[in-house]
A and B are shown apart, each in its own frame.
Chain A
């Protein structure tokens, strides 16, 4: 019984890394341009499908496929930014919210037509890992490492490369950055692309755990909102920690109450944090 609880918790925590990765994408976009990307869910789903297609059609290992997924994510973000977001970037928040939601509708609409709503699955198992009383699927462990690796790469990029520093400059003060000769439009597009890249990679990883449809991104989008608020909007490290918190919660709660109460707890926590500490547990940026 205790072993089960620990396994559940461990499982949740490992999932939490991936949740955190997804949320990081959302958080980055918010942090740089104060836009909440309501297309986040479908982008995650597209990541799932890309990994799936590469695996089933081309026999590519799901983890290797992540590189292609990342490239797709980046490209997708650049397109979405260029088409939908750029024109309304300085308009009141409602405009960007609705613009990204429109993209959400478009992706879901086309996706449903192309992929239908029947579930797809990546049949890929690496067996389980047993550590003392804890048993977890090995895919979870690999995914957690992959998420950590992606986070590390993100940090390296943001802090040690020129484009990365330019992005941070734009996030900090767009006008000043422009005066320094940084093309804010390019940086904003790039940031958006990075955000969707992270979301797609997270999707690709989730595809190795559970069956999915084009609509599967939705719940993860909602989780990402909760995580971002928990960790502080605009704070990618906060997103990772928020993800762990949420994952841990999801692992623990079922031991004490029926699983269907988990969303209530999640959203209760969400609204509470928004009210009591809107800058998040780690502070927004």
Chain B
């Protein structure tokens, strides 16, 4: 069955599409801001899912593509005067390219060694950027307020950025669904289940993994640029936060790895929970601990995530919850 003829294909895409439209129509700032954050995480989680959920390679350093691609894109628009959209795409392309190069080396590792290597790459990238002159060293880069005038003022710029993020999120979900339903995706999932057996069956694992890695890196690069543009600045401390990688992992686990809907759902639920914990007077100071307890409960008792559990319990839902 072609991917687009399955109902599960339209569920996350449709939801994000409609939600974005609603935000645009209501023209309300706080709603836009919350939606921006959620969509950012949907994008991060879904892109990581291509590597983790489909191919089975656990990366703890996913955020490095957000950071490096974002830095590059931000550099282009703040220092070189590029427009936001081309700068963001350039950021994504850099991340993709970097993933291709790094992958040649790092994808030869498996399991926990690969995870450690990704942490190492993230830390090295942060340390490198802190010393890299053109990227502003330890202080980072910023755009002065005038820059927003070119987009019709700060307010309009924020709306433009939102629209771009909305489109990118739709793109990630689309790519994720297409990969999952493709011959390429089948190869990736074979690698996930048993890489050696997959190779004996003819799957050219090294090339397939590298492509998956590059795809998963491309979108965070764009998202990073958009995020930093919105904030007006970027510094090493913000761009390479390990716990953001972990949060993306948690979202995938929460929603269900290896599905299209899972990471998106996980992102939405996690963000909702986080927002609640941060504003609740009781849990405010303990929100990290609460998140930790939550994660532990999921890992111990519902490792397939919400979508995974539902698919298991109600096999008829499988066609819908892909």
One of A102, A110, A274 near B109 (C-beta < 8 A): A274
Cα distance, A95 to B290, chains bound together (Å): 18
Cα distance, A112 to B116, chains bound together (Å): 26
Cα distance, A122 to B128, chains bound together (Å): 33
By a CB distance below 8 angstroms, the chain B residues around A267 are: 120-121, 123-124, 127
One of A36, A88, A106 near B116 (C-beta < 8 A): A36
User: In the assembled complex, how far is the CB of residue B58 from the closest CB belonging to chain A, in whole angstroms?
Assistant: 5
Q: Give chain B's interface secondary structure class.
A: helix
B88 at the A interface (CB under 8 A):
no
B85 at the A interface (CB under 8 A):
no
On whether the beta carbons of B292 and A105 are closer than 8 Å, the reply is yes
Binds B, one of A43-51, A165-173, A256-264: A256-264
By a CB distance below 8 angstroms, the chain A residues around B115 are: 36, 93, 97
By a CB distance below 8 angstroms, the chain A residues around B111 are: 93
Chain B interface: which size bin?
35 or more
On whether the beta carbons of A110 and B286 are closer than 8 Å, the reply is yes
On whether the beta carbons of A270 and B120 are closer than 8 Å, the reply is yes
Q: Mark B130-156, 1 if CB is under 8 A from A, else 0.
A: 110000001000000000000000000
Cα distance, A65 to B121, chains bound together (Å): 37
* Interface Cβ pair total, 8 Å cutoff: 123
On whether the beta carbons of B293 and A271 are closer than 8 Å, the reply is no
User: In the assembled complex, how far is the CB of residue A227 from the closest CB belonging to chain B, in whole angstroms?
Assistant: 12
Find the A residue at minimum CB distance from B293: A106
Find the A residue at minimum CB distance from B129: A264
One of A88, A94, A105, A107 near B300 (C-beta < 8 A): A88
A226 at the B interface (CB under 8 A):
yes
B316 at the A interface (CB under 8 A):
no
Binds A, one of B92-100, B209-217, B246-254: B246-254
On whether the beta carbons of A108 and B131 are closer than 8 Å, the reply is no
| A97-B112, A258-B131, A260-B127 known; A102+B286 contact, CB < 8 A | no
By a CB distance below 8 angstroms, the chain B residues around A93 are: 58, 111-112, 115
Q: Mark B100-118, 1 if CB is under 8 A from A, else 0.
A: 0000011011011101110
Q: Which of B286-307 contact A (CB under 8 A)?
A: 286-293, 295-296, 299-300, 303
User: In the assembled complex, how far is the CB of residue A104 from the closest CB belonging to chain B, in whole angstroms?
Assistant: 7
By a CB distance below 8 angstroms, the chain B residues around A270 are: 116-117, 120, 124
One of B106, B119, B138, B289 near A105 (C-beta < 8 A): B289
On whether the beta carbons of A113 and B289 are closer than 8 Å, the reply is yes
B285 at the A interface (CB under 8 A):
yes
User: In the assembled complex, how far is the CB of residue B282 from the closest CB belonging to chain A, in whole angstroms?
Assistant: 12
On whether the beta carbons of A275 and B120 are closer than 8 Å, the reply is no
User: In the assembled complex, how far is the CB of residue A107 from the closest CB belonging to chain B, in whole angstroms?
Assistant: 8
Q: Mark A265-285, 1 if CB is under 8 A from B, else 0.
A: 011101100110010000000
By a CB distance below 8 angstroms, the chain B residues around A113 are: 285-286, 289
By a CB distance below 8 angstroms, the chain A residues around B292 are: 101-109
By a CB distance below 8 angstroms, the chain A residues around B130 are: 260
User: In the assembled complex, how far is the CB of residue B134 from the closest CB belonging to chain A, in whole angstroms?
Assistant: 16
By a CB distance below 8 angstroms, the chain A residues around B108 are: 275
On whether the beta carbons of B127 and A99 are closer than 8 Å, the reply is no
User: In the assembled complex, how far is the CB of residue B47 from the closest CB belonging to chain A, in whole angstroms?
Assistant: 17
By a CB distance below 8 angstroms, the chain B residues around A275 are: 105-106, 108-109, 117
On whether the beta carbons of B299 and A95 are closer than 8 Å, the reply is yes
| A225-B120, A270-B120, A275-B109 known; A109+B290 contact, CB < 8 A | yes
A98 at the B interface (CB under 8 A):
yes
On whether the beta carbons of B105 and A271 are closer than 8 Å, the reply is yes
A131 at the B interface (CB under 8 A):
no
On whether the beta carbons of A271 and B120 are closer than 8 Å, the reply is yes
By a CB distance below 8 angstroms, the chain B residues around A97 are: 58, 60, 112, 115
| A106-B292, A109-B292 known; A271+B124 contact, CB < 8 A | yes
Cα distance, A110 to B117, chains bound together (Å): 29
By a CB distance below 8 angstroms, the chain A residues around B60 are: 97
User: In the assembled complex, how far is the CB of residue A54 from the closest CB belonging to chain B, in whole angstroms?
Assistant: 24
By a CB distance below 8 angstroms, the chain B residues around A1 are: none
One of B120, B127, B253, B286 near A274 (C-beta < 8 A): B120
Which 5 A-B residue pairings sit nearest by Cβ, starting from the closest? Answer: A109-B289, A105-B292, A109-B288, A267-B124, A263-B127
Please list 7 pairs of residues, one from A and one from B, whose beta carbons are closer than 8 Å in the complex, sorted by A's number.
A84-B296, A97-B115, A98-B249, A106-B289, A109-B292, A222-B123, A264-B124
Interface residues of B (CB under 8 A from A): 58, 60, 105-106, 108-109, 111-113, 115-117, 119-121, 123-124, 126-128, 130-131, 138, 246, 249-250, 253, 285-293, 295-296, 299-300, 303
